[in-house]
Amino acid sequence: MLRLGYVKPDGSGMSVLDAVYFTVETIGTIGYSDFSFADQHPWLRSYAVGLMLLGVVLAIWFALLTQLLVSGQVERSFRRRRAAAMRGHIIVVGLGSVGIRVLPGLLAAGKRVVVVERDPSNRNLARARELGVPVVTGDATDPATLAAVNLNHAAAVAVLTSDDLVNIETGLVVRDQLGTRWGHVPVVLRVFDRQLCDTVENAFDFRYVRSTAALAAPWFVGAALGLDVLGTFYVDRLPFMVGRLTVPTGGGLDGLAMGELSARTRVVAIHRAARDDSERRLEYPPRNNTRFGAGDDAYLVGPYEELLAVLRRDALAPGSVRPSTGPTTRAGGSIPADGSTRSGRRPD
């Protein structure tokens, strides 16, 4: 365009080299010292306006691109430096449905946490950053990644991915990297199958292998039998359950003394049913000779097999009536139509 239309004051045109030079000068927003559009044809001055606007747009575009590349690199570098500087922190491997739920609990307990996540596009990354938790993207089975999160100064490690084999492999690498600290740093592995959980503990000397299936099963079984499951947890290697049970009229628990329950089953509180126009009252903790009464809400804790035995003992006697809160199951219990417990919680 410049080669064809530009006319110098002496009447001569612009060479190809001059046209290229002038174009680069304009796009680079360097300014006009050699050539000027002031005395050129209107159409050429319009072209000059477009050329200058193009220069501005390109400058902005390159600035944004540079910011995107540099800021991402700076953010990753900052996260790694922050993780490498931590001491006495907890390393969480895996940012799936379990890992992202563990973070708020650890933070609420005042713990410092760093996350290792293999997938850079994990949907929970934004949530982790909102919580202020540094996330290092990498393979936790790589010793370099574990060094980046300062494993040698960590207080504990929780391996919570959804892949059992990856969890076991990561645990073995963590054990090798910890060396003499292995016996002093709790390393928790998440596996699905309870039998595999026991095998891994016995074969590889892991102390804290937890089966999600072993924790989830009591929710469904207990709810199906009429127990409002409030929580499950491990004591050593034994899964325990906390639940609420409404004593039916004429059932096996009606009139039973608490001391007659199994040794490992504890009644932590009883919400007494209203009787003789009296208000309901909470007994906490109840005495050993306290007896259950019809309509009482009993809060129990113990190994889930023994709590299920309590439920079977509470089986309805002929002609007895159990308070109903929802669709009844074949076992006589109640469970909401959506399959959850009355507390609205589900096992993960």
pLDDT confidence of residue 220: 78
CA distance 169 to 161: 11
If you average pLDDT over residues 158-179, what whole number do you get? 94
pLDDT confidence of residue 248: 84
The tens digit of pLDDT for each residue in 75-93 reads: 666 666 777 788 999 999 9
Residue 253: is its pLDDT beyond 80? yes
Provide the 8-state DSSP code for 258.
G
pLDDT confidence of residue 255: 87
154-158, 275-279, 288-292, 344-348 — which is least confidently predicted? Answer: 344-348
pLDDT confidence of residue 102: 92
CA distance 212 to 99: 13
Residue 190: is its pLDDT beyond 50? yes
Residue 211: is its pLDDT beyond 70? yes
The structural domains of the chain, ordered by start, are 2-80 (1.10.287), 86-191 (3.40.50.720), 214-313 (3.30.70.1450)
pLDDT confidence of residue 334: 36
pLDDT confidence of residue 348: 47
The whole-chain average pLDDT of the chain stands at 78
User: Predicted confidence band at 263 (pLDDT cuts at 50, 70, 90)?
Assistant: confident
pLDDT confidence of residue 173: 96
Residue 336: is its pLDDT beyond 50? no
Residue 181: is its pLDDT beyond 70? yes
DSSP 179-201: GGGTTTS-EEEEES-HHHHHHHH
Residue 258: is its pLDDT beyond 50? yes
63-67, 69-73, 167-171, 216-220 — which is least confidently predicted? Answer: 69-73
The tens digit of pLDDT for each residue in 13-46 reads: 767 766 766 666 666 655 555 556 555 676 776 7
If you average pLDDT over residues 311-320, what whole number do you get? 59
User: Predicted confidence band at 71 (pLDDT cuts at 50, 70, 90)?
Assistant: low
Residue 135: is its pLDDT beyond 70? yes
pLDDT confidence of residue 341: 38
Measure Cα distances from 191 to 145, 150, 170 in Å: 22, 25, 12
pLDDT confidence of residue 262: 83
Residue whose C-alpha is closest to residue 232's, from 347, 118, 319, 130? 347
Q: What are phi and psi of 182, to 5 degrees?
A: -55, -40
235-244, 258-267, 290-299, 317-326 — which is least confidently predicted? Answer: 317-326
Residue 201: is its pLDDT beyond 70? yes
CA atoms lying within 13 Å on the CB side of residue 273: 17
User: Predicted confidence band at 335 (pLDDT cuts at 50, 70, 90)?
Assistant: very low
54/96: higher pLDDT: 96
Which alpha helices (H) appear in the chain, and where do they start and end? 2-5, 16-27, 42-84, 99-108, 125-130, 143-148, 164-178, 194-204, 212-224, 304-313
Structural Rg of the chain based on CA atoms: 35
39/261: higher pLDDT: 261
Buried-state track 204-240, b at ≥16 Cβ within 10 A, e below 16: eebebbbbbebbbbbbebbbbbbbbbbebeeeeeebb
